Amino acid sequence: MQMILNIDNDLIALNQAIKNHYEWAGKLLELALLGGKTDEAILHPLAHQRCQFSRWISHNLEEGHPGAELVSRIYYAHVIMHDRARDLMQAIMNTAVSPVILSNYHHAQQLFINSIDKYKEYLFESRNHMDTLTGLPLRHLLYSNFALMQARNQRAGKRIFVLLMDIDRFKSINDCWGHNAGDEVLRRVADILCSGARRHEPVYRFGGEEFIMLIEASSGKEACQCAARLCHHLESNPVELGAELLTVTVTGGIVGLKEGESLHDAIGRADKAMYHGKNTGRNRCIYMSETGQLMTLTHQVPGESPGLDPGANTNAEFSHHP
């Protein structure tokens, strides 16, 4: 449930920052209408950095945060808004207010408010598309975050990889322990996967006992290391079920997005890789190259790089599982 709480806290912090900014705008209006001592918070060239709102911005502008692209739009709108407010204030002081100066200020305010609205929409949308059982984001958010991630990656020169994971023999957990216990296992697995995932790489609940992640990496090797580390992390953190400890494993399929490939198609390939893992023993991660070559990630020990076992290239076998 941590992710839902994070969104709620984010909304509270944003509302507080907006309230502070209203107070600042109120001060500007008061000076314009009643005159008085001009305020450094409006006239200083770096007023946007001194403004309390900028604290909220720097806190949320962190690289890799799925909404960072939208926060950076708020950042620029905020700078412009302060610049136009300064122009207006100076014009008021020099009794030289013109319709252009006034409309520039209005336009900048509008831009600033719109950028905040967009981010709020993003937060509400995120909140509405969380799974109530596990607290994880659902498929819909995977697609919207993918679009934001793509824009960021084009600049950063990284690639996006899709890792699909399916719990092994989950039906037998339901059958042996009951459906409620199965639900508890899903909740625990979600928590364990989140605790093992890299910061800003959310784990999504894709379907019943399937989870999915988008990994940003400079190479297939780096992405495979993340995938193998995550699967190992789950295996080495048994789930408490009453007085018993249950080792839960997943089978994963990982692919790198090809140039121009849709997320939908990449997930389809990751699914094929994953099914190959199911059919060759489970509790493993299979990497599918751009040409469709399948490789089993061999080492799942944290700190070691997982090798790609070229001997496990089983394209012929794979064709049995379209």
Please give the positions annotated as active site.
Answer: 209
C-alpha of 318 from chain center: 32
Nearer to ligand GTP, 8 or 175 (CB): 175
Q: Least CB distance from residue 133 to ligand GTP, whole Å?
A: 6
**Residue 172 structure tokens:** 């037998």
The residue ranges of DSSP E strands in 126-220, in sequence order, are: 159-167, 203-207, 210-217
Q: Least CB distance from residue 307 to ligand GTP, whole Å?
A: 24
Q: Least CB distance from residue 279 to ligand GTP, whole Å?
A: 9
Is residue 255 within a helix (H) or strand (E), and if so which, with residue range? strand 250-256
Q: Least CB distance from residue 190 to ligand GTP, whole Å?
A: 11
Report which of 120, 146, 144 is spatially closest to residue 10, judged by C-alpha positions.
120
Nearer to ligand GTP, 36 or 208 (CB): 208
C-alpha dist (Å) from residue 128 to 8, 36, 132, 137 = 12, 47, 10, 9
Which residues here bind ligand GTP, judged by CB under 6 A? 133, 166-172, 174, 179, 182-183, 186, 208-209, 278, 282
Nearer to ligand GTP, 10 or 184 (CB): 184
Report which of 260, 267, 256, 265 is spatially closest to residue 293, judged by C-alpha positions.
256
Question: Which residues contact residue 127 at a Cβ distance below 8 angstroms, ignoring those fewer than 6 apart?
Answer: 4, 7, 8, 11
**Residue 147 structure tokens:** 């679009």
- How far apart (Å, rounded) are the C-alpha atoms in residues 135 and 253? 23
Q: Least CB distance from residue 139 to ligand GTP, whole Å?
A: 14
| Long-range CB pairs of 266-274, under 8 A, 24+ apart, other chains included | 266/162, 267/162, 267/164, 267/212, 269/162, 270/162, 270/163, 270/164, 270/212, 271/164, 272/318, 272/321, 272/322, 273/164, 274/164, 274/165, 274/166
Half-sphere exposure of 201 (CA within 13 A, CB side): 21
Nearer to ligand GTP, 117 or 175 (CB): 175
Nearer to ligand GTP, 171 or 320 (CB): 171
**Residue 133 structure tokens:** 């059982």
- How far apart (Å, rounded) are the C-alpha atoms in residues 18 and 121? 15
Nearer to ligand GTP, 35 or 178 (CB): 178
Q: Least CB distance from residue 250 to ligand GTP, whole Å?
A: 9
Question: Which residues contact residue 36 at a Cβ distance below 8 angstroms, ignoring those fewer than 6 apart?
Answer: 30
- Number of other residues whose CB lies within 10 A of the CB of residue 35: 10
Nearer to ligand GTP, 256 or 277 (CB): 277
Q: Least CB distance from residue 108 to ligand GTP, whole Å?
A: 48
